[in-house]
Structure 1
């Protein structure tokens, strides 16, 4: 059993982004969304750490953030925070997609 450090790092990035949005701009929706999606990403990383094929929570979470933050980045052209989170999310979708395509290892 190996720990999904990349997934936990991604969850930390998302949660801390929500906290920073709240501290800098007083945005309660940023705080709520950051903590919700960060928690979901953390739970997904926990599931992957226990079963590397159980990627669905992480995949749905990072997929949703790719869409939402990608749209925000496209509209604003501001890298922080939308571009950063969209970029990290699309990398996570790619990582998780590759995990789904891996052939099962013989035991």
Structure 2
């Protein structure tokens, strides 16, 4: 959306990169539920970067929304890691 509104190539590149990483992480996790590291790194990075942007501008869209959904995703991943059965 940043590319459409302002012509920001950086927004386009970041959106494509993080979209690819999120998709790749989901693909890995669907094959083996223990491979959560790409998803964890992607969600964590997005949560931190977008939270900083939100707190500097106090505009919910898009930084606050992305930060909120990334934090929720981090919680889901960590909850899943803590509740899965451990191998001997």
TM bin (shorter chain): over 0.9
The aligned length equals 87
Moved segments of 4+, more than 4 Å? none
Aligned position for 1:21: 2
Post-superposition CA distance 1:4-25 (Å, at most 9, x none):
xxxxxxxxxxxxxxxx110111
CA RMSD, Structure 1 to Structure 2 (Å)? 1.3
How far has the Cα of 1:104 moved from its partner?
1.4
Match of 1:73 among 44, 54, 57: 54
Question: Do the aligned partners of 1:63 and 1:93 also contact (CA within 8 Å) in 2?
Answer: yes
Structure-2-length-normalised TM-score: 0.93
Match of 1:89, SS state, is helix
Gap runs ≥5 in structure 1: 1-19
**What's the CA shift string for 1:12-48, capped at 9, x where partnerless?**
xxxxxxxx11011111111000100110010000001
TM-score normalised to structure 1 length: 0.77
Q: Which runs of 5+ in 2 are unaligned?
A: none
Match of 1:82 in 2: 63
Say which structure, 1 or 2, has more relative contact order (CA 8 Å, 6+ apart): 1
Q: Which residue of the other structure, out of 25, 50, 55, is the alignment partner of 2:36?
A: 55
